[in-house]
Amino acid sequence: MPSRPALIPASLPLVGILWMVLSGVSFVAVNGAVHHLGTTLPTAESAFIRFAFGLILLAPSLVAALRAGLPAGTLPLIGLRGALHTLAVILWFYAMARIPMAEVTAIGYLSPIVVTVGAALFLGERLALRRILAIAVALTGALIVLRPGLRDLQPGHLAQIGAAICFGLSYILAKKLAPLIPAGALVALLSVTVTLGLAPFAALEWVTPGLAQLGWLAVVAVLATSGHYCMARAFAAAPVSVTQPVIFLQLIWATLLGWLAFGERVDPYVLSGGAVIIAAISYMSWREAQIARAGITPAPGAEGR
């Protein structure tokens, strides 16, 4: 007699949603702290100090990774991922200090689209029609946010677009490395490579930070680590199709924080464009989850982003 499939408790989706809400709160708090620091420190120096603090938090995972050793052939990929992430972090810190928080958040939603396209170009995954349509809709949402031709785009907007692209490419390399290196070790190695990558840029314009600035960047490191932890717990508790739409709340909270704490204007175009991007990503995740539940074997490379 065939064994019955294990039943998933009904509360798990709610647990996943709650973890994702906590993750979103953590990341929006990160945004607020970096936005508060503004341009008081050079961009690369702020990013370097933040990752140096993060490296302290990840030291146990790093020691375990070094003791286990790296699989053959992975070092170049780890280095390339670190270089891409270093550039992404510099661009993100630059954008966060110069344009409204809600716009940084909305443009950042393009990273999953970059992952989808990059996986097709570099990992041989096939783009199903639903993915192509979702990408087109998401790009339309980005145009709503940016409104090129209707207003002047600032260097911060271009920096955040570059950051979204570089973060997406970094995630593609993480996807390639994930079967070979444990998740904790992968995060720790990323922190090492990014900290080393940021060091020379930070040294070029080093300004001695004050205790308050160091304190804020330490808080950023703790909050970012908390955000990643909560996101991992969310993905473990519920399908991505359940937790993905919750990410849109980050845009709402970023808009409210920008308005209440920094006096930033609430831009309906940013909210609506961000909603369009998240709707496209959520549909893609929901459709892939439907196929998995139906027991349909998707075409090679079409099983998820």
Residue percentage of the chain with pLDDT more than 90: 54
pLDDT tens per residue across span 83-113: 999 999 999 999 999 999 999 999 999 998 8
Neighbouring residues of 107: CB distance < 8 A, sequence distance ≥ 6: 95, 142, 145, 146, 157, 160, 161, 164
The rounded distance, in Å, linking the Cα atoms of 235 and 233 is: 6
The rounded distance, in Å, linking the Cα atoms of 23 and 18 is: 9
Q: What is residue 289's predicted lDDT score, i.e. its pLDDT?
A: 67
pLDDT tens per residue across span 252-277: 999 999 999 999 999 999 999 999 99
Q: What is residue 302's predicted lDDT score, i.e. its pLDDT?
A: 33
Q: What is residue 204's predicted lDDT score, i.e. its pLDDT?
A: 95
State yes or no: pLDDT of 297 exceeds 60.
no
Q: What is residue 192's predicted lDDT score, i.e. its pLDDT?
A: 93
- 3-state SS class at 148: strand
How far is CA 42 from each of CA 85, 94, 217, 221, rounded to the nearest angstrom?
18, 9, 13, 17
- 3-state SS class at 30: helix
